[in-house]
Structure 1
Amino acid sequence: MSSDSYAKAFTLANGYSLVVVEGALEPRSIGSVQVSLYRNLDVGDFAASLAFVRDGTILKAELVDNSQKQQKLVVTMVTAGSGNYQSTQAVCVVGESLTLCQ
């Protein structure tokens, strides 16, 4: 993974952590986004992960809902080239599972 790749961790209200990264060893302009859920990131207590297609780079990721009952992360991507088209994908945390939100 290049030093320019996106990687960010979030602490959820329930104490779990979400880690968002662009796929390792992939080009910056296209590939995958990987979201991983950890019970305890400090010791690597992994719970679940989810990957989805990325056309461009991750511009930002943010928690839009972080309550004890529900957590939702939104990942915004921007295409390479002159268009700079943006797209978003929401990821819902349900217990110890990750799903693409509808």
Structure 2
Amino acid sequence: MTLTNNVLLWSCAAFLFFGMWWVLYRVAREAIRQIRSRTLTWRESAPFALLLALSSGGCLSFLQWAVSGGRAGGGLGALLLSAAALLLASLMCPLREP
């Protein structure tokens, strides 16, 4: 890969990685707020938490792929898995309005 390709890869990777972590942060913060206010119980939020953990793993796998220059594993697949886990989490366990 040339320097230009690496810069493009890193730019895309940084944008996607930090965007996904921002979504994870917002969703987790809202879920914790609702658990503390007793709108949700821990038992109701367990599948949601597992899907968030899966999504976090996908983000970290994507970062490993980007750091290796796109040679280790399937980074874009990991990012898609992460996005699918977030979508499934929102469909299975939607956060409740207060």
Both structures adopt the same fold (TM-score exceeding 0.5): no
Query: Bigger relative contact order, structure 1 or 2, given CA contacts below 8 A and separation 6+?
Result: 2
TM-score, normalising length: structure 2: 0.29
Pick the structure with more strand per residue: 1
**TM-score, normalised by the number of residues in structure 1:** 0.28
**Structure ID, larger Rg:** 2
